[in-house]
Amino acid sequence: MTVINLGIIGGGQLGSMLATAAKKLNIKTTIFCDDKNAPAQDFCDDFIFGNYQDSEKIKEFTDKINLVTFEFENIPFETLKKINEIKKVLPNPEINKIIQNRLTEKDFVNRLNIQTTKYKLIRNKKDLEDSLDFIPGILKTSTLGYDGKGQFKINSKNDLDIVKINLNKEYIFEKLVNLKKEISVIITRFGPQKYEIYEPIENEHEHQILKYSKIPAEIDQDIFEKSKEWSKKISEELDYIGTLCVEYFIDKNNTLYVNEIAPRVHNSGHLTINSHNISQFENHIRAVCALEKLETKKLFNAKMINLIGKDILNYRDKKFNKNEFFFDYQKKEVKPKRKMGHFTTLIK
Ligand code: ADP
Ligand code: MG
């Protein structure tokens, strides 16, 4: 049997966990990343450090591998397209193109008759001043945001004087949802109507960064069903292959909205490594490498805490119980707001 060498673009913790899952399935991994300190280099078989636009590096990468996936969605579309002409990229880069931009992403979701927050394109200060009915709201850069980066809360009209609009950028202005809860649904699609779906996960954010996740989510049955249904529909419409996450808001009236789609494995799904027979990472590898789809089952309820910045220091020499699992992403430097590790507890 020939061994598959899977290329992964991006070398953060998601890359590490994908490479670890691949190893278990006897699949070799080569990671291509523009950070020479990328933590995933210690988990993969081969590591290529280079700029994502560098044709020589792209050639070196594509020469080594059979097919490609990625751990983050903000890779330049042109790079993904170019790589896809040489070796197949899954999920398809055209999906990334839609999701990379918060406006085209929300337009796509609404076309499926699935509700998102109320939103509007902003190009300049005047556009913002014409949007008083969106206040209180959040102004976000349309591209390249993550973990709350590139977001500005606008609580009142007065805040409009403070915000700076870069005229070379596009923004989206979203009406603030009166949040009761946030949940996410992770689905791995193997082909038409062929998927494994995890139950909704309840998430809590601090300063717009995910802090806690748990299953089961404390939600009504209709939200449970609807969030899964919508995630299936989204993955089906995108003709998606691999693991995808849909983030949802539930407001105080129990209305469900899609917040955003992550075309990749997701932080809220880290608990699946321990709570399920097959993790979101293993399912992703199975789907993109066209391996067998096995029935995914929950073994335990679980909760996860993200270790952000200095949080990690309290865990590094701690003793753990049998139902506790500590993951250290082995990043070279501890920085505030940086995801350094996570800690999962299985619950009976
Ligand atoms: P990112 O790409 O940084 O994850 P999100 O749009 O998911 O960006 O925003 C991060 C978090 O900020 C959300 O999970 C939520 O807690 C809060 N947030 C973002 N937009 C809204 C909104 N329109 N209403 C209420 N909360 C929001
Ligand atoms: Mg988000």
pLDDT at 72: 92
Query: Same structural domain for residues 254 and 342?
Result: yes
> Is residue 179 in contact with ligand 1, taking CB distance under 6 Å?
yes
33 is a domain residue: yes
Query: Same structural domain for residues 169 and 183?
Result: no
338 is a domain residue: yes
Which ligand 1 atom minimizes the distance to the CA of 146? 3
Q: Which residue has the tokens 């990472």?
A: 281
Tokens describing residue 142 = 């349309």
Number of domains in the chain: 3
CA–CA separation, 272 and 190 (whole Å): 18
- Considering just the CA atoms, what is the radius of gyration of the chain in Å? 20
Q: Lowest-pLDDT range, 14-28, 31-45, 132-146, 171-185?
A: 132-146
CATH number for 23: 3.40.50.20
pLDDT at 284: 98
CATH number for 161: 3.30.1490.20
Mean pLDDT over each residue of the chain, to the nearest integer = 96
Which ligand 1 atom minimizes the distance to the CA of 102? 6
> Is residue 234 in contact with ligand 1, taking CB distance under 6 Å?
no
Query: Same structural domain for residues 254 and 132?
Result: no
Query: Same structural domain for residues 123 and 224?
Result: no
pLDDT at 1: 59
Ligand nearest to the CA of 205: 1
CATH number for 218: 3.30.470.20
Q: Mean pLDDT across the stretch 174-178?
A: 96
pLDDT at 150: 83
According to the 3-state scheme, what is the secondary structure of 7-56?
A: EEECCCHHHHHHHHHHHHCCCEEEEEECCCCCHHHHCCCEEEECCCCCHH
Tokens describing residue 175 = 């009406």
Pick from 208, 248, 260, 306 the residue to mutate for probing ligand 1's pocket: most ligand atoms within 8 Å of its CB: 208
Q: Mean pLDDT across the stretch 106-134?
A: 96
Q: Mean pLDDT across the stretch 24-43?
A: 97
Q: pLDDT tens digits, residue range 61-102?
A: 999 999 999 999 889 999 999 999 999 999 999 999 999 999
Query: Same structural domain for residues 132 and 270?
Result: no
62 is a domain residue: yes
Q: Mean pLDDT across the stretch 114-132?
A: 95
Which ligand 1 atom minimizes the distance to the CA of 148? 3
Query: Same structural domain for residues 334 and 201?
Result: yes
Query: Same structural domain for residues 195 and 343?
Result: yes
103 is a domain residue: no
Side-chain half-sphere exposure of 238, counting CA atoms within 13 A: 33
Q: Mean pLDDT across the stretch 210-216?
A: 98
Measured in Å, residue 55 CA sits from the centre of ligand 1 at 35
170 is a domain residue: yes
> Is residue 146 in contact with ligand 1, taking CB distance under 6 Å?
yes
CA distances from 141 to 50, 223, 259 (A): 26, 29, 15
User: Which structural domain range is residue 38 located in?
Assistant: 5-89
Query: Same structural domain for residues 203 and 342?
Result: yes
Pick from 259, 260, 308, 339 the residue to mutate for probing ligand 1's pocket: most ligand atoms within 8 Å of its CB: 259
231 is a domain residue: yes
Closest CA to 190 of 333, 40, 90: 90
Measured in Å, residue 121 CA sits from the centre of ligand 1 at 17
Q: Where in the chain does DSSP place strands (E)?
A: 5-9, 28-33, 46-49, 67-70, 119-122, 137-141, 151-154, 171-175, 179-191, 194-197, 201-206, 209-215, 242-251, 256-262, 301-308, 324-328, 339-347
Ligand nearest to the CA of 178: 1
111 is a domain residue: no
Task: Examine the fold and report which residue of 69, 89, 109 is the final residue of a domain before the chain moves on.
Answer: 89
Query: Same structural domain for residues 143 and 183?
Result: no
17 is a domain residue: yes
Q: Mean pLDDT across the stretch 227-235?
A: 98
Question: Residue 249 — φ and ψ, nearest 5°?
Answer: -110, 145
CA–CA separation, 321 and 323 (whole Å): 5
Q: Does this model's pTM top 0.85?
A: yes
CB 312 within 8 A of CB 340: yes
> Is residue 188 in contact with ligand 1, taking CB distance under 6 Å?
no
Ligand nearest to the CA of 119: 1
pLDDT at 184: 98
Higher pLDDT, 61 or 167: 61
Task: Examine the fold and report which residue of 175, 190, 218 is the final residue of a domain before the chain moves on.
Answer: 175
Per-residue confidence band for 152, with pLDDT thresholds at 50, 70 and 90: very high
Tokens describing residue 39 = 């933590």
Which ligand 1 atom minimizes the distance to the CA of 177? 24
Q: Lowest-pLDDT range, 2-6, 139-143, 295-299, 344-348?
A: 2-6
CB 37 within 8 A of CB 63: no
Query: Same structural domain for residues 212 and 321?
Result: yes
